[in-house]
Amino acid sequence: MLQEAEHGGEDVSPSVAEAKHSFYYGWVIVVTSFVVLGLISLVISSFALFYVPVLQSFNWSRGRLALSMSIYLVSSGIAAPFAGGLIDRFGPRRVMPLGAFVTGCALLFLSRATALWHFYFAFGVVAALGSSMLYVVPVTTIVSNWFARHRGTAIGIVTASPGTSQLLLLPLLQLLINWIGWRSAYLILATVLLVVPTILTRLFLYGRPSDRGLSVEDETQLGKQKWGGSAHAEKHAKTKRQTEVIVMDKQWADTEWTIGKAICTFRFWALSLVMGMFTVGFFLISIQLVAYMTDKGYSSIVAASVIGLQGFVNILGTLLGGVVGDRWGREKTLTLSIAIFIACIVLLNLGGWIINPLIIYAFAVVYGIGFGMAFPTLMASAADLFQGKHFGSILGWIALGGYLGAALGSWLSGYLFDLTHSYRLNFLVAALVMFISAALIWKARPGQVRVIRTVNST
């Protein structure tokens, strides 16, 4: 077993070397990525807010307008590998401003839309292509390049941003729609998404530590160096226990992974299936959640508050998943997440038999934690397995499995209900595919390549 060290290959200037003693720039990357991802996530999360006023303006059927979301999901899935590849080749400072420009133009066009095909094209295709350059795959790629020791924690913080954005910014956007109409609201959203991510990316975001004259090893060295400066501190440093990234499979870790090499491995397909199965199970439940509660007699207010509570707890679950993943390992953390998620299905089913809002609120808490923990764990698992110069492209292809699973789960959730006029089959299928997802992560075994362990610092 060897301790992992990935050097940027550049000399470090004295000023940068001094900065390393006090602060690791990777945390600036985390904060910047958090804001960028939170803003760009509004493209998809705000769809429900614009949905009703747009329908009222044009009298289209719900299904025809909702099809634009399905097109968006498919387009995003197809674009994800290419977005990751662009980040690998050109870096975020070139790619992300382009994505912000394309997304902003798409929303500007939507503010003047007059036909249904405008939404299919501008939202379903153009906005999906633009936002994919700033969304989960590029952001996860960048953060993974900067972190090894705290990779899960850093990814957990960043991927909590869509939930935070949903909690804090969607109410403001709803107020804008109420005050100035959906067209003007789209205009303002387009301006924000065009300007803010571009400025933040150009000022603060770097694709790799080497772009700043650093190495990912500095993440670990900083924790050691901060104890220096006195004899007592040196003695403390010698006995301090720290977490370190340990390479378990040197041959695998030293491989320069490309998409061609990755797709020839069982681990690539196992992790892709993990993401696909998990999103099928999640969307089998989430898409029908409000309909299920109202069918069982819960008020619309209770249903809305459950969704809001779940979104808030999801933020905490995402942060928890990142930290736990670094300490317990990816396999155990995802298994725990899925066990919690299956428990939430039991609670939801119980809430349909015994009409009690307390049961439903308990479900929302468990649901938010279970789903939240899974996302950073899955992203960190991919980085543990395929970290390297082409990781963005590889992650994009793995994420495609998740997008396809989401599309299948969304359709299947309605189909199974139409077939049985009950949600019982939805629950059973969701639990089954979640169980398969948990089993497959033990086949992918990222912990057999890299693992984070507590060791005595020297």
pLDDT at position 15 is: 45
For residue 307, is pLDDT > 70? yes
pLDDT at position 4 is: 43
Q: Which long-range contacts (CB under 8 A, 24 or more apart) does 214-218 make?
A: 214/8, 214/12, 214/16, 214/20, 214/25, 215/5, 215/6, 215/7, 215/8, 216/6, 216/8, 216/145, 216/146, 216/147, 216/148, 217/5, 217/6, 217/7, 218/20, 218/24
Q: Average pLDDT of the chain?
A: 85
Q: Decide: residue 101, CB within 10 A, 0-12 exposed, 13-18 middle, 19+ buried.
A: middle
Cα–Cα dist 97/86, whole Å? 12
Provide the percentage of residues in the chain whose pLDDT is more than 90.
48
Question: Which phi and psi (to 5°) does residue 369 adopt?
Answer: -65, -45
Q: Compute CA distances 85 → 9, 100, 375, 379, 395, whole Å.
A: 21, 17, 21, 16, 9
Record the pTM. Answer: 0.77
Q: Pick the more confident residue, 447 or 310.
A: 447
Average pLDDT of span 240-255: 78
Q: Pick the more confident residue, 284 or 66.
A: 284
Q: What 3-state DSSP class applies to 255? A: coil
Cα–Cα dist 261/432, whole Å? 31
Tokens 């390297």 identify what position?
Answer: 388
Which of 76, 69, 83, 49 has the alpha carbon at shortest distance from 188? 49
**pLDDT class for 83, splitting at 50, 70, 90?**
very high
For residue 261, is pLDDT > 90? yes
Q: What angle do CA 384, 386, 391 make, to 5 degrees?
A: 115
**pLDDT class for 49, splitting at 50, 70, 90?**
confident
Q: What 3-state DSSP class applies to 297? A: coil
Q: For residues 361 and 301, is the Cβ–Cβ distance under 8 A?
A: no
Q: What is the CA radius of gyration of the chain?
A: 23
DSSP structure class, residue 9: S
Q: How many CA atoms lie within 13 A of 452 on its CB side?
A: 23
Would you state the structure tokens that stand for residue 10, as one six-digit string?
Answer: 């550049």
Q: What 3-state DSSP class applies to 242? A: strand
**pLDDT class for 240, splitting at 50, 70, 90?**
low
Tokens 């789903």 identify what position?
Answer: 371
Provide the percentage of residues in the chain whose pLDDT is more than 70.
88
**pLDDT class for 234, splitting at 50, 70, 90?**
very low
* Per-residue pLDDT tens over the stretch 341-383: 899 999 999 998 888 889 988 998 998 898 889 988 999 999 8
Q: What 3-state DSSP class applies to 447? A: helix
Q: Pick the more confident residue, 29 or 10.
A: 29
Cα–Cα dist 358/302, whole Å? 10
* Per-residue pLDDT tens over the stretch 143-179: 999 998 888 899 999 988 988 888 888 888 888 988 9
Q: What angle do CA 281, 145, 197 make, to 5 degrees?
A: 80
Cα–Cα dist 27/92, whole Å? 16
For the chain, domains (ranges, CATH) are 11-212 (1.20.1250.20), 247-456 (1.20.1250.20)
Q: How many CA atoms lie within 13 A of 158 on its CB side?
A: 34
Average pLDDT of span 241-260: 83
pLDDT at position 132 is: 96
Q: How many CB atoms lie within 10 A of CB 231?
A: 7
* Per-residue pLDDT tens over the stretch 207-219: 999 998 888 777 7
**pLDDT class for 11, splitting at 50, 70, 90?**
very low
